[in-house]
């Protein structure tokens, strides 16, 4: 399961709509093992714009975040991207690019510029396919 604060999901939806008709992308920062809690959403420039609905998170951003997170309890727990005019399901290209099965993939379907549906998935490296991950939006705990 992956837990989002309403503001985190709003950031993902706004990025998806702003990038349309290209794909948006970014990284999810958080903690947890069985239950992942998102603490921050970090949008990235899509380095693959104009390439036919593909995305690539800026590696410089990722390395900077990894350095910034050293010594903290947070880590990169996943990434997000949008599917312009396609469902919020992993594509064949997503399957081919799933090199880190521990990361959650959050995908937002965008229809004619409007974010419609967001779903979370995780790659099963043994079966070479994605499985759905339950997603919940809730206000963060007071002591979190």
Structural domains counted in the chain = 1
* Cβ density class 11-20: b for 16+ within 10 Å, e for less: bbbebbeebb
Q: Which domain holds residue 34?
A: 2-137
Position 62 in a domain: yes
Position 32 in a domain: yes
Position 144 in a domain: no
Position 30 in a domain: yes
Position 85 in a domain: yes
In the chain, count H helices and then E strands. 3, 8
Position 142 in a domain: no
3-state DSSP assignment of residue 52 = coil
> Nearest-5° angle of CA 78, CA 79, CA 85?
140
CATH number of the domain to which 113 belongs: 3.40.140.10
Encode the chain (144 residues) as per-residue pLDDT tens digits. 999 999 999 999 999 999 999 999 999 999 999 999 999 999 999 998 776 678 999 999 999 999 999 999 999 999 999 999 999 999 998 999 899 999 999 999 999 999 999 999 999 988 889 999 999 998 766 655
Give the pTM.
0.93
Q: Are 79 and 65 in contact (CB under 8 A)?
A: no
Position 106 in a domain: yes
Position 143 in a domain: no
Contacts of 110 (CB under 8 A, 6+ apart): 16, 17, 20, 82, 83, 84, 85, 116
């Amino acid at each position: 399961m992956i837990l989002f604060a309403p503001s985190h999901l709003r950031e993902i939806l706004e990025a998806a709509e702003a990038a349309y008709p290209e794909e948006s992308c970014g990284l999810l920062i958080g903690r947890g093992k069985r239950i992942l809690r998102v603490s921050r959403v970090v949008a990235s420039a899509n380095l693959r714009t104009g390439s036919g609905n593909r995305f690539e998170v800026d590696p410089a951003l990722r390395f900077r975040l990894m350095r910034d997170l050293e010594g903290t309890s947070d880590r990169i727990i996943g990434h997000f991207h949008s599917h312009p005019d396609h469902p919020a399901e992993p594509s064949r290209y997503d399957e081919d690019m799933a090199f880190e099965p521990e990361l959650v993939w959050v995908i937002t379907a965008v229809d004619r510029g409007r974010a419609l549906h967001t779903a979370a998935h995780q790659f099963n490296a043994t079966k070479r396919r994605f499985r759905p991950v339950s997603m919940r939006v809730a206000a963060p705990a007071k002591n979190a």
